[in-house]
Structure 1
Amino acid sequence: MDSDAADGSDDSLEATAASTLWDTPIVLAATPIGNLGDATDRLKRLLASAEIIAAEDTRTARHLARALQVSTHARLVSLHEHNEASRAEELVAQAAEGARILVVSDAGMPSVSDPGFRLVETAIAAGVGVTVAPGASAVTTALALSGLPTDRFTFAGFVPRKAGERKKLLARLIGEEWTTVLFESPHRVAATLTEFAAALGEDRPAALARELTKRYEEVLRGGLGELAAAASERHLRGEMVLVIAGAAAGGAGSETPSLPELADVVLQKVDEGTKLKTAAKEVGAAHSVPASDIYDAALARRRAEKPR
């Protein structure tokens, strides 16, 4: 192919990209999680051409546009956890009338532990088109850097603050064979790691990533006990992502969970619809513990927790 033909092809591709930018009226766009250099050209063009920008924080969206040297004439509206249910209907109705709506969170992909899910759900129900302009994600970035298995993983959002919800999560993680990714606050990360080490074993492989893509990016790797000690000693700051290896990745040296812990796993499976005997067999096989022992422990736990 000669150079003139190649230049013409590039022009054609650019024209096609420009004409298809708003083929779909609602676009969820990923924003940088730290490094502005990760902003895509598509994000910049969307910011410049949107009629409405629905942002988790409108001040952050304005700052992003200025930092990227993008001039936008869009009307900015807030879309956060407290108003998304009501605002989704309004935005979808405007999109149905032809408005070009861009959805952004403060960092990363909207709807992934950020506002956006209800809007997408509402758009789908109304038959209004929605698409994604992909980009940076703290979840996949931390997973890739963790050094832990990436072929199968679960994203579990933020570590629950309520003790009862954390107990359910830990009961699930005891037998979880997939790598798990979690978000946590820097103010609670030391206590969380200590609690997780006690429940899952101090040698359970894990990684703690902080300040991803930023100047002081750091990834700590080791057992949960080791990470808990480091977090307590160093008083770590910044955005935190915790990646925990699946139970099977702990190796032969990992401690077998106690019967009460295994009983919690069984009862969690029962709550999700599995029969008690089936759950006991599955958990027993995973940890080389007699299913009958786990079954009896689960029955005892259920009786103890039953209101009198």
Structure 2
Amino acid sequence: MGEVTYIDAIRAAQHDLLRDDDRVFIYGQDVGQFGGAFKATQGLKSEFPERVLDTPISEDAMVGAAIGAAIEGMRPIVEMQFADFSSIALNQMVNHAATYYYRTGTSIPLTLRLPSGGTPGSGPFHSQMMEALYSHYPGMMVIAPATVGDAYHMLKEAVEFDDPVVFCEHKFLYRWLKADSFASDGLPLTQARITRPGKHATVVTYSAMVHEAVKAAERLAEDGWEIEVVDLRCVKPIDTDTIMASVARTGRVLALGEAFPWGGVTAEVVSRVASEGFHLLDAPPARLNAKDTPIPYHPDLWRAHRPTPETIVDALRKLLNF
């Protein structure tokens, strides 16, 4: 196939879904001729003119209309220009889409694509990680692919799934992350992956932080430490079995995330390890998140705000030396 990027995978998955299933359509702001804010739908309007639809600037109306279409048997993919803006549609997702099967027995096969996370110079309104907010509510699956192959295959599986799925795609990975193909190892949608095996400590993470964790592990390998990196892939439901098996091997765990520290995925990981795997631990479970402040605009401040390989190394050294 040649070199393909993370956003190539997202575009190709949508193309193949539109081609293979007449029930699939794409709905969002500027997703048509313009090709989306990040060009994730570029070229799809010309090939599927009736099923790649531009919307007014109303996230609430977009998701509400998609819920109605899903009730009638369609499989909508809704693109938010930025994950941050999806809060305007929160009521539609958590009070309507997520509860509809429970209330009526009718499935809502709606996929909400959220361009997530920070890039230099994006500031507080275009950089947030929203996965914990959606994971709080029952009735939805929340996934966060960290590889090119997962971006392709997990998006296809999300659209084929019969319940609402929040698909958190990281903007920083769009054109930076590359692979030879869209090949995948065939893991089930909700199963975590051991990205890097190790025996001295476990890092449990997801999305773009997987790559930062691997960089940190490579630096610590120079000192003889073998760090295991677990890529959650799916944060709701969370693969507790893979986490516990890794902690059983290493005895130490660092839960790592780019999101804000209060609550969230890393808190859930630590809570589960402490309550279900306390006997496995040789050190207290640790967490590392972004700072508990709005996300700064200046690139240097942004780098100081989120975890980096350097801060991950520091956190792991404290854990290893406990």
| TM-score normalised by length of structure 2 | 0.35
Higher share in helix: 1
Q: State the structure with more CA Rg.
A: 1
| TM-score normalised by length of structure 1 | 0.37
